[in-house]
Structure 1
Amino acid sequence: MANKPKVTIHHIAEKLNITASTVSRALNDNPRISEVTKKAVLKAAKQLNYQPNNIAAALRNGKSYIIGIIVPTADRAFFASVVRGIEEIANKLNYKVIISQSYDNYEKEVQTIDALLSARVDGIIASIGKNTENFDHFKRTQEKGIPLVLFDRTTDALEVSQVMIDDYLGAYKVVEHLIQQGCRRIAHFTSPKKVSIFKERLRGYMDALRDYDVPFYEELVIKSNLQLEDGRSGMEELLQLKEMPDAVFSASDYGAMGALQVLKERKIKVPQQVAIAGFGNEPFTSFSDPALTTVDQFSLTMGRITAELFFEHFKTAPDEKLVPQKTVLKPELIIRGSSLKADSLNEKASD
Structure 2
Amino acid sequence: MQNIGLKDIAEIVDVSVTSVSKVLNGYPIRISNSKRTNIIETAERLGYKPNMVARGLKSRKTKSVGIVIPDMSTLFYPELLMALETWLSARGYQTFICNSEDDLEKEKSRIDALMSRSIDGLIVAPAAGDGNIPLFKQIQESRAPFLLLDRYYAGEGLNYIVTDNKSGAILGVNVLASMGASKLVYLGGSVRNQSLQDRLEGVYEGAARSSLHFDDAGVFLARPDRASIKATADRIFESCNEGAGVFLESNRYLMGLLDAAGERSLKIPNDLLVAGFDSFRPNITSAGDFAALGVIRRPIPIIKQDTEKMAELACEYLISGLVGGKNQNLQMMLPVQVING
TM-score w.r.t. structure 2 length? 0.87
Q: In structure 1, how many angstroms separate the alpha carbons of the residues matched to 2:247 and 2:139?
A: 37
| CA pair 327-28 structure 1, distance change in 2 beyond 3 A | farther
* Contact 2:175–2:275 (Cα < 8 Å) also in 1: no
* Contact 2:244–2:273 (Cα < 8 Å) also in 1: yes
SS at match of 1:323: coil
5+ residue gaps in structure 2? 284-289
The Cα of 1:88 is off from its aligned counterpart by: 2.5
Identity of aligned residues (%): 23
After superposing the two structures, state which structure 1 stretch, 148-157 or 276-285, moved more.
Answer: 276-285
Summarize deviations over 1:170-204 as a string: whole Å, max 9, x none.
Answer: 11111111112111121001334441211111011
Summarize deviations over 1:3-35 as a string: whole Å, max 9, x none.
Answer: x76432111111122221222223334366899
TM-score w.r.t. structure 1 length? 0.84
Once the two structures are superposed, the pairs formed by residues 203-282 of structure 1 within 5 Å of their partners are 203-241=201-239, 243=241, 246-282=244-280
Specify the code of the residue in structure 2 equivalent to 1:335: N
Summarize deviations over 1:39-82 as a string: whole Å, max 9, x none.
Answer: 64454234334343332211111111111011112453221222
Summarize deviations over 1:198-230 as a string: whole Å, max 9, x none.
Answer: 111101101111112222232221122445444
Once the two structures are superposed, the pairs formed by residues 99-118 of structure 1 within 5 Å of their partners are 99-118=97-116
Specify the code of the residue in structure 2 equivalent to 1:323: Q
2:179 is aligned to 181
SS at match of 2:162: strand
Q: In structure 1, how many angstroms separate the alpha carbons of the residues matched to 2:320 and 2:227?
A: 41
* Contact 1:81–1:303 (Cα < 8 Å) also in 2: no
Once the two structures are superposed, the pairs formed by residues 25-44 of structure 1 within 5 Å of their partners are 25-30=22-27, 40-44=38-42
SS at match of 1:278: strand
1:159 aligns with 2:157: yes
1:309 is aligned to 317
1:59 is aligned to 57
Specify the code of the residue in structure 2 equivalent to 1:326: Q
SS at match of 1:177: helix
1:340 is aligned to none
Q: In structure 2, how many angstroms separate the alpha carbons of the residues matched to 1:296 and 1:8?
A: 48
The size of the alignment, in residue pairs, is 329
Q: 1:329 aligns with which of 318, 328, 334?
A: 334
5+ residue gaps in structure 1? 337-351
Summarize deviations over 1:141-164 as a string: whole Å, max 9, x none.
Answer: 234432111111122355343211
| CA pair 192-70 structure 1, distance change in 2 beyond 3 A | same
Q: 1:17 aligns with which of 10, 14, 21?
A: 14
1:297 is aligned to 305
Specify the code of the residue in structure 2 equivalent to 1:155: Y
* Contact 1:122–1:146 (Cα < 8 Å) also in 2: yes
| CA pair 36-252 structure 1, distance change in 2 beyond 3 A | farther
Q: In structure 2, how many angstroms separate the alpha carbons of the residues matched to 1:216 and 1:242?
A: 12
The Cα of 1:242 is off from its aligned counterpart by: 6.1
* Contact 1:190–1:223 (Cα < 8 Å) also in 2: yes
| CA pair 256-133 structure 1, distance change in 2 beyond 3 A | farther
Q: In structure 2, how many angstroms separate the alpha carbons of the residues matched to 1:36 and 1:301?
A: 50
* Contact 2:154–2:194 (Cα < 8 Å) also in 1: no
1:341 is aligned to none
The Cα of 1:274 is off from its aligned counterpart by: 1.3
The Cα of 1:92 is off from its aligned counterpart by: 2.6
Specify the code of the residue in structure 2 equivalent to 1:236: D
2:70 is aligned to 72
* Contact 2:180–2:243 (Cα < 8 Å) also in 1: no
Q: In structure 2, how many angstroms separate the alpha carbons of the residues matched to 1:293 and 1:36?
A: 68
Once the two structures are superposed, the pairs formed by residues 88-167 of structure 1 within 5 Å of their partners are 88-156=86-154, 158-167=156-165
SS at match of 2:239: coil
The Cα of 1:235 is off from its aligned counterpart by: 0.9
2:4 is aligned to 7
Summarize deviations over 1:77-107 as a string: whole Å, max 9, x none.
Answer: 2212222222222223211110011010110
The Cα of 1:37 is off from its aligned counterpart by: 6.3
